[in-house]
Each structure stands twice: as C-alpha cells, then as structure tokens.
Chains A and B, each alone.
Chain A
Amino acid sequence: MKLSLKWLNDFVDVKDVKPEELAEKMTNAGFEVESIEYKSKGMERVFVGEILKLEKHPNADRLQVCSIDVGFEKVQILTAATNVFEGALIPVALDGADLPCGVLIKTSKMRGLESQGMLCSGQELKIDNSVYDGAEIDGIMILHEDYKLGTPIAEVLGLDDVVLDVTVLSNRPDCNSVLGLAREISVILNRELTLPALDYVESDRKCEDYIDVDINTDRCLRYMASVVTDLKICESPKYIKQRLNAVGIRSINNIVDITNYVLMEIGQPMHSFDYDKIDDKVIEIRNAKNNEKVLALNMEEYELDTKDTVIADSHKILAIAGVMGGFNSGINSMSKNLVFESATFVKGGVRATSRKLGLSSDSSNRYEKGVEPAFCEIGLKRALHLISSLGYGNICKGIVEETLIDIKPKRLSFDIKDITKLLAVEISNEEITNILERLDIKVNIENDSILNIEVPAVRNDIANISDIAEEIIRIYGFDKVQSTLLNTTSYCKRNKNLKLDNISLLKNKLVDCGFVELNTFTLSNLDYVKKLNLSNFNREEVIAISNPLNEDLKYMRTNLADSLLNVIQYNERHGNKNLQIFEI
C-alpha cells in the first residue's frame, strides 16, 4: 500500500521525522516499508523564477538571453525556446541540478555568453497535465499562477511529498488505509492521533424517501446508502488531485475522486450511482441469476451466475458487487443526484467473481483483503463530509442501511503473568496499558494481575492471549527480548530415524564412488511410458494433479529413469561427458 507522508500528516505529525527513520520503525513494528519514493527527486535545484529582461544573443540568431530573478539570486540563462516572455514565471534549473529527465545542469558558455542554468519544460521535469495544467505544451512550462520567487518547483507541483510502499500483513486489513497506518504510526512514535472530520450539513429531505436498501444474499454483511441532490460535477481541488496522483490514482472528477479518496484514506470502498437511473427507488443486493448479463463501466459485457453478487434495482443490474459498477448506472457530467454506496461484501465472494471474470479494481482488491463492517459508516460519513465542505451538493437527512451482523467491541480477559511469561520480558502494567490504549484497545487492569480489554470491531485479528502478546511485543520491541537456548526444556528421547540415516549413508557411498546427486522435479508428463517402453505400466496407479501448472507437471512420476535420462541429455548437449549421476 502506498502511503503519502503529506496525507499522513493530516492525522499524525511526522514532519520532523526522516522518512528513512520512520520506515525502519514501521518495519520493526510489523509494517515493512519496501521502498521510499521522493516525489521531488531531481527537482531539488529547480525553483520558480521570473524573466526580468529578454534580449537577443549578439552572436546567435536562435538564442535569447534571459535575466532571471529566482528570489535569492539573479542569474543569466540562455534559451532557444520561443514561448518565453518578459514577466513570465518559469521553472529554473540552477547549476548542479540533476533533472528527472536525466540531464545534469552546469554553468557553461554558449557563443561567448555565460548561461547559469536552464529553463525547464514539463517533459524535462517528467510531468504531464495531470500534475500541472500546461505541462505538456511544446516549450518552456509557463506557470499560470502567482508564486513567490525562489519557491522550490516541487512545492508548486505538489510533488514535495514522499511516498512509502508499505507491506500490510494479511491479518491487518484495517491498515490498508492512511488512517489505519496513521494510528499505528502514532503508537510507534508515541504521538497524538487526529481523527478525520466526519461532520456534514443535511438538508430537509429525508434519505429514506428517496431510496430503500434490501439485502437478499449472505455475501453482503452490511449496506449503507446516502443520497446527495443538486449535484455539482467538476474538477477536484488541487490537494485531492495531488494526493491521489502521489499514490498512483488518476483524477477523474470530484465525485469519483471522493470515492477513491475515501478508499485510500479510510480503507472503505465506495461507489456512486446516478440516482435518476435507479428504477423504483430500490437497491437490492442479491445473487446474480444464471446467464444474467451486465455491461460494466469498462464497456465490457460480463455473463454472471448464482455465485456472483450484484447490486440491482427492480429491473436491472446496477453493479457487480464490490468489483465494478454498471455502465448504465454510473455518474457522468450530466448527473443531478447521486446515491453513495458504502458496503461490506464478504472477501471470498468478491475474490471468486473477480477471478472468474478476470476483472479487478481498486475496490475488489480491497474487498479481497477484507473490509470490516465497522468501516462502512466512517467511510460514508467521510465522503459526505467532503461533499458538504466542498459544496458539491445537498445531503439528504439520515442514512439508509441494512446490517446483518453485530458490530460491537470484543471483550477479553487474560492473566498478565501468562503474557509476560510467554514473551519472557519484564514490562510494567503501565506500559502495557499505554501500548494497548494507543492501539484503540480499552484496558482495565484488575488487582494488578488481570487484563480486561475491549477490542474495537475493526480488529478482527485479536482473539486470544497470543494475539494480545503480539500487539504488546511488536510495539515494545523484539530487540528487547533476550536470547536463551531452551534452558527450561526437558530432555527429549532421541528418536532414531533409520530410514533417513540409511539414505544419507547411501548418498555418501555413491558420492565416494564418483556419483553426482541430482535434484529433479517429481512431477512429469506421461511421455516416459512410451519412451522407456514400460509394458507393465498401469495408468490407474499414477497420481494426477487436478490443477496442474501445465501438462508437463501433471503427474507424480513413477520412476526416476526418465528424469535421469533428461539430465544426461541436458549434460551431453552442454559437453559434459562420462556422467555418473544419481537421485534417491
């Protein structure tokens, strides 16, 4: 999962922590950082400058001499570009810049005049229009807003960000989000966590008058819907575009961007339907019928069966649940009203459908990892908060939902001694309390010895004493565990394994006689039966793999001769003569 540090700073302040240091601390707490990407790489010596004066080069027809102010100094730069003018704000690469395109900038003389840098095009900065409008024009990139001279160009482009590629373990799907990782980082660094704003203004219209939700499948645990009227479809604000861009998601329009933003920030997949394309005000979540067809957003038609789950109105399929919306129910620039979907589909169901159709999306990927039902509400409210605060429409009062499971915290009790004994560390009750409470686990210690905890519903991974021991030790630090060599273990009677001893003996004898031991695949095809002329071969006795990688790895081999012959053939071809080989 890609984590933008700028985005992370909304929830926990890490501005003073070096990305490398943060990465190491996260790795040691179970969130391995695979890579650190500096979005501004190559732009360290590129600043906003203004062209003060533009003159023709006295000795070269094609060159112009620019006097440029970059705030902290004035420089002279020669350029062949024709789209520059006096007063233009432009990206200026100064001496020493090692640009994203690979060009190294040095002060040099051209036809007798000194050039102390270079004016940059979007191409040289390796950016396109999605990063900065006008980046793709032929020539120098002209900045069309007012910036303070000398501002690093990365800041102007929103590329003053660092993105960590974090491996989130499969038992922690609650951390596949900026917020989830922010909570962990706040515990790791022992810093305050700021929760995202979820407040929004509602109109007088009631959501329940607009839509009804009906779950008729066991593959959907929770479905929440909310209606927004008087929709305004437009471009997203710059910070949303830049943050999505930083984690590899292209901006589409404000509504699609908000669903993606919530997916990345909260970890809740969202979908938006055009309200006016839903018949009879009803959203049903049901199993698909055999041979039922749907045209998806990607313009491909898919044929479904009863193992697939769909979102439907009274007449038609609106979406393949958790995988992709339908083409005919989606939002477009003409849409007036929308329905937000925030739902929990079971991971096995989404995975099966996604595999079968060969169709995956950011949403299906997230559902496959597991989305806890508790996130539905936070996700939906976060999306409504963004709609409300950015003025994109009027939100109907209330949320329509159907929930088929209990969503409540889990209460567990353990003897603290059992935990510290397993971990073999001395850790105080205060420290245990501090670690767990920061992880949003409520703690009450009875008589200094019994640990009563209340685990939030999103932490499905915590069920027994070992789980809670792990939470404590991964924050406390595995490096604080001492090393002992089984000093409390009883004596075990040595169990002689004659078979393995004899095999080992035989191997050594063969090696002494000049034989080389092979390691060949135990799976094969059945070509050898014919090749070796095995007359008493009984096909019934061969064990076949029901899902082989390919036909050559389909059967458990019944003899070694074929493997050895293949090795001989390989070695002969490579000029190895006089082979003495064996395999047991």
Chain B
Amino acid sequence: MKDKIVEMLNKGLSDLVSKTSSREIEEVRVKYLGKSGELTAILKDMKNYEPEQRKEIGAIVNSARKELEDKIAEYKAKFEQEEMDKKLKEDAIDVTMPAKNVRIGALNPITIVQNKIINIFKDLGFDIYDGPEIDFYEYNFDKLNIPADHPARESQDTFYIDDKRLLRSQTSTMQIRVMENSKPPIKMISTGKVYRGDELDASHSPIFYQLEALVIDKNVTLADLKGTLDYLAKSLFGSDVSIRMRPSFFPFTEPSVEVDITCSKCKGKGCPTCKNSGWVEILGAGMVNPKVLDNCGIDSKVYSGFALGIGIERVVLGLSEISDIRILVENDVRTLNQYK
C-alpha cells in the first residue's frame, strides 16, 4: 500500500513538471486531490483497514497529500503570476485604475463677477456693449454734465493723452455713446477697465473695473430703479439682503443715490466691517439728469431713465474674505485658483 502511495505521489509530482499553465495545474489537483481524486480515494477507503494499519497508512497518505498540495500551490502561484504579467502586458488599459488628475484652470475673479452681473441683466433683457478705454473729453465729462471746473477733471484724478483724448475715468462714457447712436427704448449694460490717478494701495488702484447699466424709455420711474437695484442685490448677494437708497450726488443723475446692502457679516446688526451701521455701500445710481438726455439728442420732456454703476473689485471683495484690492492685481496663481 505504502509503495502504491509513493508511486502515486511521484507520478503526481512528475505530472506537475510537464504542465505549462495554472489551468493544467488545477487539472492535476483535481485528478489526485479532488473529490474523486486518486489520493482522496485512498483516504475514503481508510475505514476498511484495521486500526493499526489505518494509523500507518493515514500518516503516509497525509504526508504525500501535503507534499503534493505544496507543490501544486507553488506551481500554481508561479503560473498565475506569469499569466497576470502576460495579461497586464496584453491589456495596457486598466479601466479599474483611479483617474489621472486633470488640470482645470480658472477665470479671473473679475471675469467671474462680471459674468454674474451680465447674466443678471441679460435675464432682464439688457443689451451688452463694449467700448473704448481711450475716449474723448466730451464723452467722459462734457456730455455727462461734468462742468469744466469740476475736481474730477484735474490732472491728478484723470489720465490725459492729449488735448482731446483721455483714459476714461468711468464706464458712463458708454451711456453717451449708446444714447447718441440708438433711439429709446434703451436697456444696456457695459463693463470694462477705467483709469484714475490713484496710487495703488489696499483700497485704490489706478486701473479698475466698472459695470454700467442704463435704461431710457417713456415713464421710467424711481420705483423702477429701486426694483432693479433690489433684484440685482438679491441675485448677487442672496435673497435675504435688502437695500437702502441714500441721497447722493453725481452730475449725470438727479436724484442720485448711494446704494447700501445689509452687511453680510452681521446681517444688519452692526459690526466692524460695516462700521456698526449694518449697511455696506455697493454702488451709485440715479435718474438720468435731463441735461444729459438733452446733450445726447433725447427729448427729456418725453423720456426718462435711470443709470447705475458698480465697481467690480468691490463686489469681488464683498463676496470673498479679501480686504486688500492689491491681491487682485498680484496674479498669484494659488489665489486665482481659489475662485471658481
């Protein structure tokens, strides 16, 4: 019996040597160690032996089985590794691997806010115009009812190019250009860079962005301005903000107002950000001064309108935790990547 088992083991081991794949190794395992395998059959037959014999044969069978099992496992592992390597080589694309990092850039925060406001006004049916940064005195001053001795005209406030042209100090120049070139009704916005003689510091920049809106039609009222401002503020800063109009003065609008919104930090209760007033100033607006309409060939007896101007940087700062405008011209990509 003992010889038979040894013979069986040697046969099994030599069987393994000639095999070339894990599948064939598995066949060998089934042949000897499977449910109806040859070695298994001997073990099943054990009950027919005397206890003395049973003990002796059992030990031999078990050690043979152990040896064969180990050898099979060894071969199996070897072939499986080879086959995996082969498979990996053949299937270069592995769909189960985690995705590679795709780099996405970022729009400038200025552009993001511009787009937000443009979309708000688009929803209200406004046209969008763009215009020149270099403009004539008359568009930047005269036709906007800014008198010849107004401080804004001084050389420390406005950049001049020659005796006719300057770098616009406000996007209101576009109001004049549109009013001169189209008939009411007018509903327009325009946005872009403006220039003023301020040194760069935490709250000033010689170059900054404005967005201008203008409506001219019959029967446009102060209530329409208030409604539009309210819609703009809520769309931009959230539906829980309310607005306050304070009397102000701009030569091109009358009545003129400064518009405040409830302070986002304290919800109107008063905090250092809003100097304890509960309000934060966001823009200037007003009903278009009849003189300006007349300057542009629009009959102020028939038409009225409103205009508003927003400093884009101020909105960017208002929507973020930044309080220094210089960060917006520093162009550190780590900062820029945070606005999305």
Q: Which A residues lie at the B interface, using CB under 8 A?
A: 27-30, 32, 169-172, 346-348, 351, 355, 368, 421-425, 464-467, 469-470, 473-474, 478-479, 481-492, 494-495, 497, 499-500, 504, 507-508, 510-523, 543-549, 553, 556, 567, 570-571, 574, 576, 579-582
Contact = CB atoms under 8 A, between A and B. Distances in A.
B86 interface: no
A495 B107 contact: no
B91 interface: no
Contacts of B128: 495, 497, 500
Nearest to A515: B105
B244 A479 contact: yes
Given A465-B290, A553-B206, A580 B197 contact: no
B330 to A, nearest CB: 7
Q: Which bucket holds chain B's interface residue count? A: 35 or more
A148 B76 CA distance: 111
A351 B157 CA distance: 14
Q: Closest 5 A-B residue pairs measured CB to CB?
A: A30-B247, A470-B255, A424-B223, A466-B254, A424-B221
Contact of B133 (A481, A485, A520, A522): A522
- Chain B interface helix/strand/loop/mixed: mixed
Contacts of A545: 159-161, 167
B249 A467 contact: no
Contact of A484 (B206, B227, B245, B336): B227
Nearest to A490: B185
A368 B149 CA distance: 10
A519 B329 contact: yes
Contacts of A581: 331, 333
Contact of A507 (B103, B111, B130): B111
Interface in B62-106: 102-106
Nearest to B209: A519
A169 B217 CA distance: 29
B291 to A, nearest CB: 7
Contacts of B185: 489-492
B332 A576 contact: yes
Contact of B226 (A172, A421, A470, A482): A482
A549 B247 contact: no
Interface in B246-297: 246-249, 254-258, 287, 289-291
Contact of A567 (B126, B155, B328, B331): B331
Contact of A547 (B160, B215, B230): B160
Q: Which of B197, B224, B247, B328 has the most CB of A within 10 A?
A: B247
B14 interface: no
Contacts of A567: 331
A478 B110 contact: no
B7 to A, nearest CB: 69
Contacts of B226: 478, 481-484
B206 A30 contact: no
Nearest to A170: B249
A516 B336 contact: yes
B146 to A, nearest CB: 11
A474 B255 contact: yes
A520 B193 CA distance: 11
A572 to B, nearest CB: 11
Contacts of B290: 464-466
A72 B175 CA distance: 68
Contacts of A492: 125-127, 185-187
Given A504-B115, A548-B159, A523 B207 contact: yes
